[in-house]
Amino acid sequence: MTVKSYSLKINTNKSFEIIDITSQINNLIDIDEGIISIFSKHSTSAIVVNENESGLLNDLEFTLDNLIDDKFSYKHDKIDNNAKSHLKSFLLSSSESLPIKNSKLDLGTWQSVFFIELDGPRSGRTVTLTMVGE
């Protein structure tokens, strides 16, 4: 059994941004079969798997903005002024574990892996990839 780790560095340009990182991950996979853990090291970002369709991605931003709204007063804003970003991250996930088959992510037909920036723009966001397999 082999264990390998890599890091992706991601720069973002907007306060909310969805970046498809599927091809970057596939380019780093160097085992034939196994499992990969994809983990964002930031509490104001997320890793998700879903369809890369522009309407759906816009709907996600719209939904998060309407669930966590400026009309509320958040206690965390007293120290950091980014409570909305942290709360959105709570609703999503900081990681995904996915199968690897034939040296690629074994995703469904319409699935992609996304890094979601919730508190940008930022430079040097880190996503850790850990692969276990053969």
Q: What is the pLDDT of residues 61-116, one digit of tens each?
A: 999 999 998 888 999 999 999 999 999 999 999 999 999 999 999 999 999 999 99
Q: What is the pLDDT of residue 12?
A: 98
Q: What is the mean pLDDT of residues 117-129?
A: 98
Q: What is the pLDDT of residue 71?
A: 87
Q: How far apart are the first and last CA of the chain?
A: 5
Q: Residue 110 in contact with residue 4, Cβ under 8 Å?
A: no
Q: Report the 3 state secondary structure along 24-71.
A: HHHHHCCCCCEEEEEEECCCCEEEEEEECCHHHHHHHHHHHHHHCCCC
Strands 34-40 vs 125-133: parallel, antiparallel or unpaired: antiparallel
Q: What is the pLDDT of residue 72?
A: 87
Q: What is the pLDDT of residue 70?
A: 82
The SS3 of residue 107 is coil
d(CA 28, CA 34): 14
d(CA 115, CA 31): 22
Question: Residue 29 has which token pair?
Answer: 């996979």
Q: What is the pLDDT of residues 9-51, one digit of tens each?
A: 999 999 999 999 999 999 999 999 999 999 999 999 999 999 9
Q: What is the pLDDT of residue 31?
A: 98
